[in-house]
């Protein structure tokens, strides 16, 4: 059971390392403040229905776009910059165990931020009578989306020893993957190249995210998020294997 | 036992390590020497499984680092160059993390960490975060990390770099103490260190092994080895001529009242010189046989004709 033990040890260390710097608290506060601000002020502005938690989940992708890369940018680039990757990968752990431990720690950390929003959802539940399925589906979709953005962020973090470059790259990639399936954007392009838009949109997070928002948990959506994460983790594995010392 | 077999590493056109092979037995301390850029760090990174070799492999205590990396890594304690450790962690938490990865749990883990903290004299800083430690202490934390699981094979890249003279001594004493039951490989730029702790030295230059021998036998290759030094209290004008005329002397260097007679025949030189100075009117202040210096041997083995030590290119 070395594999489980190693992954757990790395997971624990990574998760603790978030809380050993003020970054974790800044992150949690910023996420919670922004999500409320967007839901209640900007959301109101567009006259979204308060009792509908969809108005709340609507903003998650845009928050993740900035905050997830911020939480993931140091995962590998910092190891490379400081050289700790050499001590880490000469311990009897496989690269996969190290990757998984780091990924899960970051995911749990972001998941914590997401779950801390629960009072907001309770408030909307108090105001109206939202469908429980919508809430469960919303949170599940949100967590899966966060994990997918995170897998992109971890990938770009493995590409460079510079955290800023890692951050910018993952924002750009996530933005593309979000916008490619976002109705206002797809509607704009669909007139010119309907086939292409459809194809690109099928890679996007958004359609899957929105479909989970409706409270329908479709296996295809789960499979989409799972395969996106697995693909990005495999790509990260490859990148680190090839460029460890570079 | 550690067997390094035909290790090669190329980066594009640069041959960083070029066919390096050597064996180290239990009880030996191997000093890895070479100018900057010779390929020491790259070789160690390949042995410890951090860098995949372009070709060749290392067998660590019976486990091939390429085919069974995890088992091989369990045998190794590794202190990388510049002691990279997580700066945001405290010394104690860091060592506990290492202990967990090394397979210690519960009370055994705490005992390990406690023992290692004590052994590496880190008690005073155990709850300090590593980033706030001085360079020497960081080095010791990394040293502690390498020793924690009492590895059969200990590989250290410049272990005394950044330590004060007292700490250098402490580390060398520790290495000597551990030497009996371990395979130890360390790289260094300090040649006295080789004399102090190493039973064998491998000199590497441009990625190739230039010498693999005990410090004593390396010194024997020095031009100075076996030369006789004489100090004269009172000047003697004919001294140089007399010394040079000895059949076992190759040449004589004179500097003030100090003469160095280079040997043509190392076994006879001292006798001849001694017989000569005993007989005449020499006012001898001192006389001794020189050992030769590792510096000179190192320079001869690692310098190009143009005086540089660049890695060879594959072009
Ligand atoms: N990733 C890399 N890409 C290109 N060249 C590299 C890379 N890593 C190392 N080298 C080259 O390999 C050669 C050997 O480097 P290495 O670090 O092994 O030297 P060293 O003997 O440890 O030197 P030092 O005494 O300075 O620590 C150097 O010329 C170095 O520039
Ligand atoms: Mg080096």
> What are the pLDDT digits (tens) for B151-210?
999 999 999 988 899 989 989 999 999 999 999 999 999 988 898 899 999 999 999 999
Q: Is the CB of B80 under 6 A from ligand 1?
A: no
Q: CA–CA separation, B38 vs B43, rounded Å?
A: 10
| Range(s) of the domain holding residue A65 | 2-245
Of B82, B89, B98, the CB nearest to A17: B89
What the block records as the tokens of B217 is 């036998």
- CB contacts < 8 A, A to B, total 74
Residues of A in contact with B157 (CB under 8 A): none
Question: What value does the mean pLDDT take over residues B285-303?
Answer: 83
According to the model, what pLDDT value does residue A170 have?
Answer: 93
Q: CA–CA separation, B261 vs B272, rounded Å?
A: 11
Structure pTM?
Answer: 0.87
According to the model, what pLDDT value does residue B31 have?
Answer: 94
According to the model, what pLDDT value does residue A127 have?
Answer: 67
> What are the pLDDT digits (tens) for A99-126?
999 999 999 999 999 988 888 777 766 6
Residue A150 main-chain phi, psi, to 5 deg: -65, -40
Residue A46 confidence class, pLDDT cut points 50, 70, 90 = very low
pLDDT value at A189 more than 90? no
According to the model, what pLDDT value does residue B6 have?
Answer: 95
The residue whose CA has the least distance to atom 1 of ligand 1 is: A246
Of A9, A90, A92, the CB nearest to B97: A9
Nearest alpha carbon to residue A139 among A168, A114, A108: A114
The residue whose CA has the least distance to atom 4 of ligand 1 is: B11
Interface test with B, best of A90, A105, A238 (most B CBs within 10 A): A90
Question: What value does the mean pLDDT take over residues B252-272?
Answer: 85
DSSP-assigned letter for residue A133: H
Exposure on the CB side of residue A219, measured as CA atoms within 13 A? 0
A133 touching B (Cβ < 8 Å):
no
ipTM associated with this complex: 0.87
A81 touching B (Cβ < 8 Å):
no
What the block records as the tokens of B67 is 């085919």
> CA angle A85-B146-A246, nearest 5°?
25
The stretches of A83-204 forming alpha helices (DSSP H) are 84-89, 95-115, 118-127, 132-159, 163-179, 183-189, 194-203
Nearest alpha carbon to residue A86 among B99, B39, B82, B16: B82
Q: CA–CA separation, A222 vs A209, rounded Å?
A: 10
pLDDT value at A45 more than 60? no
Q: CA–CA separation, B235 vs B233, rounded Å?
A: 7
Question: B140 or A221: which carries more pLDDT confidence?
Answer: B140
Report which ligand 1 atom has the smallest distance to the Cα of B39.
18
Total domains present in chain A: 1
> What are the pLDDT digits (tens) for A76-103?
999 999 999 999 999 999 999 999 999 9
Q: CA–CA separation, A138 vs A144, rounded Å?
A: 10
A89 touching B (Cβ < 8 Å):
yes
According to the model, what pLDDT value does residue A26 have?
Answer: 87
């Amino acid at each position: 059971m070395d594999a489980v033990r190693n992954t757990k040890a790395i997971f624990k260390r990574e998760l603790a390392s978030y809380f050993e710097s003020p970054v974790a608290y800044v992150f949690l506060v910023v996420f919670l403040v922004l999500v409320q601000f967007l839901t209640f002020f900007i959301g109101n502005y567009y006259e979204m229905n308060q009792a509908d938690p969809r108005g709340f989940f609507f903003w998650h992708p845009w928050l993740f776009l900035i905050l997830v890369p911020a939480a993931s940018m140091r995962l590998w680039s910092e190891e490379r910059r400081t050289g700790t990757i050499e001590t880490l990968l000469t311990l009897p752990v496989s690269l996969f165990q190290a990757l998984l431990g780091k990924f899960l720690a970051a995911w749990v950390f972001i998941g914590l931020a997401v779950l801390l929003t629960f009072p907001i959802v309770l408030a909307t539940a108090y105001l109206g009578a939202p469908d429980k399925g919508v809430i469960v589906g919303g949170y599940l979709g949100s967590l899966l989306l966060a994990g997918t953005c995170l897998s992109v962020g971890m990938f770009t973090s493995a590409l460079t020893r510079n955290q800023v470059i890692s951050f910018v790259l993952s924002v750009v990639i996530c933005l593309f993957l979000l916008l490619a399936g976002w109705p206002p954007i797809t509607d704009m392009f669909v007139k010119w190249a309907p086939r292409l838009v459809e194809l690109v949109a099928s890679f996007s997070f958004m359609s899957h995210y929105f479909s989970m928002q409706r409270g329908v948990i479709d296996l295809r959506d789960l499979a989409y998020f799972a395969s996106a994460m697995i693909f990005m983790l495999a790509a990260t594995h490859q990148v680190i294997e090839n460029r460890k010392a570079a | 036992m550690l067997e390094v077999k035909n290790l090669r590493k190329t980066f594009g056109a640069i041959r960083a390590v070029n066919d390096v092979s050597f064996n180290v037995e239990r009880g030996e301390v191997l000093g890895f020497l070479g100018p900057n850029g010779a390929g020491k760090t790259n070789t160690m990174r390949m042995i410890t499984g951090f860098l995949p070799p372009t070709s060749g492999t290392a067998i660590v205590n019976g486990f091939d680092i390429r085919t069974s990396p995890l088992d091989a890594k369990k045998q190794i304690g590794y202190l990388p160059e510049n002691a990279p450790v997580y700066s945001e962690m405290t010394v104690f938490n860091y060592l506990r993390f290492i202990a967990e990865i090394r397979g210690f749990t519960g009370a055994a883990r705490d005992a390990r960490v406690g023992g290692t903290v004590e052994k590496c004299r880190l008690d005073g800083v155990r709850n300090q975060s590593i980033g706030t430690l001085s360079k020497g202490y960081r080095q010791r934390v990394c040293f502690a990390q390498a020793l924690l699981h009492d590895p059969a094979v200990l590989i250290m890249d410049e272990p005394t770099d950044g330590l004060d003279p007292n700490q250098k001594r402490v580390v060398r004493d520790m290495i000597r103490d551990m030497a009996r039951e371990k395979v130890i490989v360390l790289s260094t730029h300090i040649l006295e260190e080789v004399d102090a702790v190493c039973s064998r030295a491998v000199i590497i230059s441009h990625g190739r092994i230039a010498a693999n021998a005990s410090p004593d036998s390396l010194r024997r290759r020095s031009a100075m080895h076996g030369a006789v030094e004489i100090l004269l209290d009172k000047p003697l004008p004919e001294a140089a001529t007399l010394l040079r005329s000895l059949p076992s002397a190759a040449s004589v260097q004179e500097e003030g009242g100090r003469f160095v007679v280079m040997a043509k025949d190392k076994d006879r030189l001292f006798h001849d010189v001694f017989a000569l100075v005993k007989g005449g009117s020499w006012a001898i202040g001192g006389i001794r046989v020189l050992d030769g210096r590792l510096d000179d041997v190192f320079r001869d083995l690692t310098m190009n004709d143009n005086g540089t030590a660049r890695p060879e290119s594959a072009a």
